A and B are shown apart, each in its own frame.
Chain A
Amino acid sequence: MYILRGAEKTESLLGQGEALVPPTFLRSIEDSGFSTWLRESESPFAFYFVLLFHTFGLALLVGANAVMDLRILGVAREIPLAPLKRLFRIMWIGFGINAFTGVLLILAYPTKALTNPVFYTKLTLIALAIWIITLLRDRVFGDASLDEIAMMARGATLAKWSLFLWVGAISAGRLLAYTYKYLTYPC
C-alpha cells in the first residue's frame, strides 16, 4: 500500500460544520441508475471505458492540433502546409468524442467535478483552445490566396497560444484527479 502525501481524502473537513453543503441536484444525478452504474460497475465497459475514450479523444484532438501548430511555427518545413487542413477533421472527431465522454464523466462523478474550481479552469482553457482552432481554420487555412510564408506569419501567434492552452487544459484535467474536495455527495 502506497501513501501519496497530501492525497488523503479531505472529506473529514465536513465534520467541522463550516463547509458549505453542495447543491442537492448533484446528489440527484449521483443517485440515478446510470450514474451509479458508471461509477460502481465492475464491468471494464463502465467508467474506465469512458475514461479510455476521453484519452483517445485527447490524443486525436491535441495530437493533430499540436502537429499543425508545430508546422506553422517552422518545425519540419518540408511538410506542405495547405494539405494539413485535413487535420481539422481529426480534431473535430476528437472533440466530439471528448464532449460526449466528458458529459458521461460528469454524470458519473457530478459532485467531484462541479465542486472543484480546477474543473471550470479546464473548461475555460478548452473553450479558448477550440476558439483558436476555428481561428486557424478561418484565418490561416480558409484563405486560399495565402502562400506558405503568409500562412506561417498569420498563424504563428495562434499556434503558440494553441500549444499553451492545450498544455494548460491537459494539466488542469490531470489535476482533477488529485484536487477534488468531495469524491461523491457528502451524506
Chain B
Amino acid sequence: MNLAHLHLLLNHFPIIGTILALGLFITSFIGKNDDLKRSALIIFAAIALITLPVFFSGIGAQRAVRKDPGVSTAVIDRHEGAAILAMFLMLITGALALIELWRRRRIVTEKPWSGNLLAILVFSLLTTGVMARVGTTGGDIRHPEIWDVRDVTQETGISAFVHMFEPTPSKFTDLMLVSKYWWAFMMDLHFLGLALLIGTVGILNLRVLGFEKRLTGASLHRLMPWALAGFGINVLTGTLAFIGMPSYYAFDVAFWLKILAVMLLGLNAAVFYLTDAFHSVEQLGSGEDASRFAKLIAGSALFLWFAVLTLGRYIQSYADTIPLR
C-alpha cells in the first residue's frame, strides 16, 4: 500500500460523508429531532478530520499518475485547486459543528434556529457542492473517455464560477514560501497552539488519572474551548505549512505517523464523549477517583498527544523516508 492507494481509499469519505451528514442535519429540522442534529454535527467534525489525510495523500497519487504521459498536469492541478477550496470549507464546517456541540451541552435552547446553525447549513451546503466538484475533477484525471468537452480545463458555466474561488496550487505554495518571516510566524503560532493545547488537555487528563484530586472534573472540562482553539490554530498552521512544502511532508514517515496519532486522538475523543466515561468525568467531585475506563481514555490521550509532539519534532530528520516509485 502506498500514498496513492491511501488517497483512493479515503477520498470517498469527505464526499459521501458530507452528503450523509447534510441529509441528517436537514432532516433534524424537519423532524425537530435534537439527537439527529447532534449526530449530524459529530459526523461533520469527524469528516473534517478525515479530510486532512485525504488531502495530504493526494501528492502521492499525483506522483503515481504523472508517470502516465497521457495525463496532463493541468487536469491534476484543476483537481488539486478544487480540493484545497473544499478542504478549507470542510474545516470551517467541522469547526462550526464542534462549537455548536459545545454550546448544546451547556445551553438548553427552545429556539430551533441560531446564527451558528445557519452558518453550519450554509458552509455544509457549500462544502457538499465543492466536494462534488473535487470528485468529478479527480475522476476526470484518469478517465478522459467520460469528458463531456474536448478540454475539461476550459471551465464553463457554474464550474467557471466556482473555479474563480479555487487557488492555483503552485501559486499557493509560493505564497507560503514568500518570506522566511511568514514561515517563522506560522511555526510560532504552531508552537503557541501546542502549549495551549497540552496545558489545557494535560491538566484535565492528569486529574482523571489522579493528580490533585481537589479539582473537579466538570470545572476542568470548562477549559475545553481553549484546547479546541489551540487545536484549531495548529490544524490551520499545519495545513498551510503542508501547502508550502507538500513533498517535504508527504514523503516523511514521521509526518504520517503524526497524522495517524491525530486520527487516533479523534477516535479517543469520540469514545470519551459517546460513552459513560464522559459522565463519570463530569461528575468527578473533589477527592473522588475516576472510573478505570475514564483513566484508560485519559492515559491514552496523554500518550497520544506526546506522540504527536515527538513525531512532529522528528519530521525534519525523517524527510524523504517514504520512497518515490
Contacts and interface: CB of A to CB of B under 8 A. Distances in A.
Contacts of B196: 63, 66
A134 B121 CA distance: 49
Contact of B198 (A63, A70, A79): A63
A129 B29 CA distance: 51
A6 interface: yes
Interface string A161-181: 000001100110111011000
A65 to B, nearest CB: 8
Interface stretch (B123-131, B140-148, B178-186): B178-186
B22 to A, nearest CB: 34
A37 interface: no
Contact of B178 (A5, A64, A83, A174): A5
Contacts of A3: 177
Contacts of A13: none
Interface stretch (B85-93, B159-167, B260-268, B310-318): B310-318
B188 A174 contact: yes
B132 interface: no
B273 interface: no
A84 B212 CA distance: 8
Contacts of B215: 79-80, 83-84
A67 interface: yes
Contacts of B188: 170-171, 174-175
A55 interface: yes
Contacts of B16: none
Interface string B211-249: 110111011101100100000000000000000110010
A89 B198 CA distance: 16
B300 to A, nearest CB: 18
A94 B131 CA distance: 44
Interface residues of B, number: 42
Contacts of A51: 313
Given A6-B180, A44-B317, A83 B212 contact: yes
A135 interface: no
Interface residues of A, number: 41
A183 to B, nearest CB: 14
A78 to B, nearest CB: 4
Contacts of B200: 63, 66-67
Nearest to B306: A56
A7 interface: yes
Nearest to A174: B188
Contact of A167 (B192, B214, B244): B192
B203 interface: yes
A89 to B, nearest CB: 10
Contacts of A66: 195-196, 199-200
B187 interface: yes
B172 interface: no
Contact of B203 (A67, A80, A174): A67
B306 to A, nearest CB: 7
A51 B215 CA distance: 33
Interface of A: 2-7, 44, 48, 51-52, 55-56, 58-60, 62-67, 70, 75-76, 78-80, 82-84, 86-87, 166-167, 170-171, 173-175, 177-178
19 contacts: A2-B173, A2-B245, A2-B248, A5-B179, A44-B317, A48-B314, A52-B314, A59-B199, A62-B199, A63-B198, A66-B199, A80-B214, A80-B219, A82-B214, A170-B195, A173-B191, A178-B180, A178-B183, A178-B184
